Structure 1
């Protein structure tokens, strides 16, 4: 989640979709605990037990699974004491909605790493995606026990591969198990209440989830620090630290109840996980490049890709709406590194920058150029919603909606009809349909005088509409997932048959289910691209 962005209020289908993902991956019991946290917010262990009506042991095990897979974060809430008492502290658990939704993007993450670092890195990343959190020693053990001799890595290769993944920020150290979050003081709360509305403090304030995530993540240097030098006692086991548990259970319990390993460098204690933030940034860059390619041409897309690559090593890239400023020469140096850019001259790059500056996708200041992410994403979002309106309501509704979206203000019915060449008798019906389906905002204006008249004014409220569209997307994603699960369940026996036994009608049924699966999975990927556009970018 970008700093400063308002956290999305979880709608009914957002929660249902997240719960479906957890159910599919971990079963009904874990999903029940996760749903409780998604619907109720941060809770203590006794409250989770009370709301779920599960026994404490089951709840603890479910929390361990969710924390192990980065779907829940534990934290300590510190509240001021009363009547001279010391501060009160209690451990609470909060569901991380974004991380849950990221689970459907694992294939996209693997494709990015495959293209960037190769198959050795993919094998290591697969282990982290599968297990959530691993120490280096556990990665070494997995490589040693690998059944695939071609994919098996030697210990030095595992260390080298992990180093590459950490250096590229694809993998990071796990966050603090229980960061301490202080409740705002009475003075801070009063200051917020007194603050001017124009400051948008209410709109941009951090949610508890954002505060917890920010407090748990190590500093930038520690987060991506890779050290394997160990002392003489580094491999000793602590007999009191759940020695009777298997490795996986000990790892999960450590994540909940201990912060001993956070600053450690021992390859048996430092836990690593996939950096969802970095992958989301790469997906955002890819979306920006493809949107520019569709609107302009391949040359402009190549130049934009080079600008994003050149600024990739800078800090806080996700926390700004523009990339770092780059000179023409530095952009050209990056352009010619790519195969697509080797045939481009500096004049062609300069012409592409002029192209990019007219929407504007790139802004120029003092002979330097920076990418305007906000504008690229806004245009892509507008196009996505416009295409939904076109498919669902027709071309007349599309023209009227597009006019209102560009205007950004209230317009009267007849003026909308005149500007879009829609019959005046049809315009109110179309606008009313869009309003009824929550795509438009309507206001009534009554004019008094010799004759009283009433006018209907219409506008697009982007903030509420974007939330509505996103909820529809989560609903559609849930339906696609359920449909795919149903189809595969119906043909479970057929899919398990060896190929030599699938003849005649059985082969026809197999080909049908294969086509259905391809269509549904392709639709899931495309829909998730749209979800990213509205939720994470």
Structure 2
């Protein structure tokens, strides 16, 4: 683990859980596995705080525990998972994806799971139903059955999964099969969400009327069976598969056209649950299956589909390959090849933005030709010798290009040695990934600094917003509301607007860099698993 990863993990832990949990998590990342006693000694924190911090980390599945170096009879040791800590950077993207696929109910279900780490199905449904009811108008309430339907759909599409039961050693009590992770328990939950009271005190008549109403409406009471010991969590791997597929679909749309991307989308959708996460190819599909699954709104005939499939197979990007002739032709999506091409395009764009179009031309040339001498680079790129030499040395100093020596004789004399320039795409991707970690860490630090510097203005704005909300609910007139709003002066309001603008830009930048991080991580992991 690099220093940039540890720094970014510490910033994410501090932002989500506070400074104490951040100290515990950072110490585990730097030291590896530690026992409770060693962790207390190294952090100099009270035992009670260390225990609570470890509970928070285990609850959110970013820390595991098990037998230490001394074996089953020794103390239990704790290990932090940096990969899952870095997933916190992607929380807004998970929530937005759930909203786009399953609406407001799916969004709140994923948000609650991410905030709590692990929850039972019944408690999640009650919490989400209450939140939806509170946001509704005209006294409406959210039925538990509607939330159960959304929860079931998230589980059926593997966006939510069961947490395995563990014992004190950290091992699964009963190893669950793949299908058991997505089995909905038999529960009976009836009722609807409850609306929070607008005031602290309710009059006696209101309480009596409410009691009489509840006595008449027994269906509003909740009953739960068989759900207490089953906890659920977000399946990050499934979200990452969705992100990967969306990146591939967008690349096909920009390279070819919208119809081609829709065909690739259909192929990915048909095989998304049956294809393993680390597979190099999707499940083979026949042209007949693809034709039947295409949306009817596109009105694509069978001959046109065959032409598009041939176009995708012949494309140099090689997103799709043909594996057989049965069923009108068997086709697969090259997942690893697609990720390699996406990572390559990312590297080329970075070089172009930092060093200009001519350097990017040299970089693309080396990627395509693999090994070239300096004279060959000058000729193929059609760049004057002096400029080509400067650009090559600049790329070499930034570790984006490597120099390989091939001696003709054992003495390695320069006059009898070939000097070939080359690009190691995997090593360059790792280098860029570390730069992305550093960039996101800087963005988070800047956002925290901006928030701290304007803490007084933010707190004042929040207090006034709370007063306005209370006055509106109590039926205050417009003059009173205007008077409260004027408590924030014009310069303060202008400063708050500037702060919100800066914070929004920083958040947007974090999300954009995270998209690059996801592509590079997916490419590096796929290449590592292939080897």
TM bracket, shorter-chain basis: 0.7 to 0.9
Q: 1:46: how far off?
A: 2.7
In the alignment, which residue of structure 2 is the partner of 1:443? 404
- TM-score (normalised: structure 1): 0.77
Q: Deviations over 1:281-302 (max 9, x none)?
A: 1111111111111211111111
User: For this pair of structures, how many residues does the alignment match?
Assistant: 453
Aligned to 1:328, which of 269, 282, 287?
A: 287
Indicate conservation of the 8 Å contact 1:23/1:31, yes or no.
yes
Q: Deviations over 1:333-377 (max 9, x none)?
A: 22225x5xx332233322222222123100111111110011111
Say whether residues 1:424 and 2:385 are aligned partners: yes
Indicate conservation of the 8 Å contact 1:68/1:133, yes or no.
yes
Indicate conservation of the 8 Å contact 2:248/2:338, yes or no.
yes
Aligned to 2:91, which of 76, 96, 106?
A: 106
Task: Name structure 2 gaps, 5 residues minimum.
Answer: 189-224, 466-484, 524-531
Q: 1:389: how far off?
A: 0.8
In the alignment, which residue of structure 2 is the partner of 1:154? 143
Aligned to 1:53, which of 22, 44, 47?
A: 44
Task: Output the CA distance in 2 between the equivalents of 1:99 and 1:37.
Answer: 14
Which has the larger helix fraction? 2
- TM-score (normalised: structure 2): 0.78
In the alignment, which residue of structure 1 is the partner of 2:527? none
Q: Deviations over 1:429-469 (max 9, x none)?
A: 22222122111222345556999455532211223221111
The secondary structure found in structure 1 opposite 2:183 is coil
Indicate conservation of the 8 Å contact 1:69/1:133, yes or no.
yes
Aligned to 1:175, which of 157, 164, 169?
A: 164
In the alignment, which residue of structure 2 is the partner of 1:139? 124
Deviates further, 346-355 or 26-35: 346-355
Indicate conservation of the 8 Å contact 2:105/2:128, yes or no.
no
Looking at CA atoms only, which structure, 1 or 2, has the larger radius of gyration? Answer: 2
Q: 1:158: how far off?
A: 3.7
Indicate conservation of the 8 Å contact 2:339/2:522, yes or no.
no
Q: Deviations over 1:185-216 (max 9, x none)?
A: xxxxxxxxxxxxxxxxxxxxxxxxxxx9x999
Say whether residues 1:312 and 2:305 are aligned partners: no
Task: Output the CA distance in 2 between the equivalents of 1:169 and 1:354.
Answer: 32
The secondary structure found in structure 2 opposite 1:118 is helix
* More relative contact order, 1 or 2 (CA 8 Å, 6+ apart): 1
Task: Name structure 1 gaps, 5 residues minimum.
Answer: 1-9, 81-86, 182-211, 231-264
Indicate conservation of the 8 Å contact 1:178/1:216, yes or no.
no
Say whether residues 1:413 and 2:374 are aligned partners: yes
Aligned to 1:94, which of 79, 94, 109?
A: 79
Task: Output the CA distance in 1 between the equivalents of 2:358 and 2:49.
Answer: 56
In the alignment, which residue of structure 1 is the partner of 2:106? 121
| Cα RMSD after superposing both structures | 2.9
Deviates further, 298-307 or 53-62: 53-62
Task: Output the CA distance in 2 between the equivalents of 1:353 and 1:144.
Answer: 46
Q: 1:220: how far off?
A: 0.7
The secondary structure found in structure 2 opposite 1:458 is strand
Task: Output the CA distance in 1 between the equivalents of 2:44 and 2:312.
Answer: 57
C-alpha spacing 1:344/1:144, structure 2 compared with 1 (3 Å): closer
